[in-house]
Amino acid sequence: MSSEFSWHYIPGAGDDEESWARGLTPALFWKHSYDLLDGGPDLCNQLVSDIVEKDRVYRSQRGEHSPQITVNHLKCLGDDGPYFYDEHTIITKPMNLDPSTITPIDTPCSNNSHLVFWIGTSNLAVSSTIQVADDLADVDCILNCDSTSRLPSSSSENSYLEIAIVGSKNDRFSLLKNLPKAINFAQRNLIARRKILLCCQTGEDISICVALAIITRLFNDSGCFDDGDYFVKRDITKLEMRKRLVFICKYAINARPSRGNLRQVYGFLCNEKAQLCC
């Protein structure tokens, strides 16, 4: 409490410390806790690396087993390892992910200069409304989830839908309430084999979550549109949803879905499943 810095508390993060602790053990943390906390967020990772390496050298000199810790600084979700996104979700590539759930990547990971990220062969793309205006050549219809921006109003009702969705911090149920409209719009256009652009203000959170809901609700585990047949036959679990999220993030490399919005997607899917079983 005496530290001048503020730290985010992420419930449940202690269950997967191997994905974020960078080799730091509880004993090492408490031994150096004041130094780590007082160093602040900017110095924390470097301090952890120094502490872990000094401890490794100390133990190796005494004949103890002390393998070197390797931390990957990832640029895209195609690499093995975790993603760290402040208050946003931590996405980790599952170790034993069924290959049938991942469609091969056609293009290599790149920087964020792309305006539109196409999700495999799903006919779905995600983007930011701020950047999308100049890159619509291959788009047949648009689902605009941005509550602050309007796209061309000349589009027909069948090819353009505007849904004002706000983040979970402002409205805990905004995404949940609007997902049925988004699913219906996507379903109509995917049946017609039209290419759909999903966009939100940043292209990193709400549009990613809408894409996740669509792919989980309307696609099978091979990433092919089946109009919901697979969804009807299988139970919806967090693991299943996580696999779909990993699939999306292999293409949308700037994805940063928030935990609050992901919870709404899961709630929506569970409600859909319950209604189908009635």
What is the CB neighbour count within 10 angstroms for residue 237?
Answer: 12
Can you give the residue ranges of every domain in the chain?
17-62, 116-277
Distances in whole angstroms, Cα of residue 21 to Cα of each of 35, 51, 75, 156, 219:
16, 12, 19, 51, 35
Edge-to-edge, what's the strand order for the sheet holding 116-118? 116-118, 124-128, 196-200, 141-146, 160-165
Please name the amino acid found at residue 76. C
- CATH architecture of the domain 116-277 equals Alpha-Beta Complex (3.90)
What pLDDT is attached to residue 3? 58
At residue 9 the predicted structure's pLDDT band, cuts being 50, 70 and 90, is low
What pLDDT is attached to residue 207? 95
Least confident segment among 33-37, 82-86, 268-272, 274-278: 82-86
Q: What's the mean per-residue pLDDT of the chain?
A: 77
